[in-house]
Amino acid sequence: MAVAVGIRVAVGEADLALVREVRREVFVVEQNVPEELEYDELDATSEHLLAVGADGAALGTGRLIFGEQALALTGGVEGRVLLGRLAVVKAARGTGLGAELVRAIEAAGVARGAVELELHAQVQALGFYERLGYVAEGPVYDDAGIPHRTMTRVL
């Protein structure tokens, strides 16, 4: 079982390549999300967090969407940021890394002045996010062929 030794903000092309590697493994390969849907224009303006193991291997990632992009995606809710593309490789699942990544993204949001966080959870992950204090809102909807539901948490 892989254990993360650190979570950091992805900086530079080498880190971003590791972020893409994790997302490709989890979303494109495991969940059959079309590659053209997985990577989007928000990647360039988001803050990406990266969890790595002792050997430097990428174990998990998630992104924080903030500023004007967050305002547009949340319907103009001031003080709300978005967590997206949370992914943990199979070898690191069950270690608590997913929860650590969520908390790190929340902290990054608070550092940017956020008071609330929104995410779009796969329905099969609702329980995970509920245990972290998130509350589901609205109906189930399709995103890349996978049922999702919007969730929020006051930070």
pTM as predicted: 0.94
* 8-state DSSP, 66: -
Q: Residue 69's domain is classified under what CATH number?
A: 3.40.630.30
**Mean per-residue pLDDT of the chain:** 94
> Is a pLDDT exceeding 80 seen at residue 92?
yes
Can you give the residue range of the structural domain that contains 39? 4-154
Q: State the total domains in the chain.
A: 1
* DSSP-assigned letters across all residues of the chain: ---EEEEEE--HHHHHHHHHHHHIIIIIIIT---HHHHS-GGGGTSEEEEEEETTS-EEEEEEEE-HHHHHHHTTS-TTEEEEEEEEE-GGGTTTTHHHHHHHHHHHHHHHTT-SEEEEEEEGGGHHHHHHTT-EEEEEEEEETTEEEEEEEEE-
Average of pLDDT values for 36-58?
A: 94
Token pair 């059959």 is found at 32
> Is a pLDDT exceeding 80 seen at residue 138?
yes
pLDDT bracket for residue 4 (50, 70, 90): low
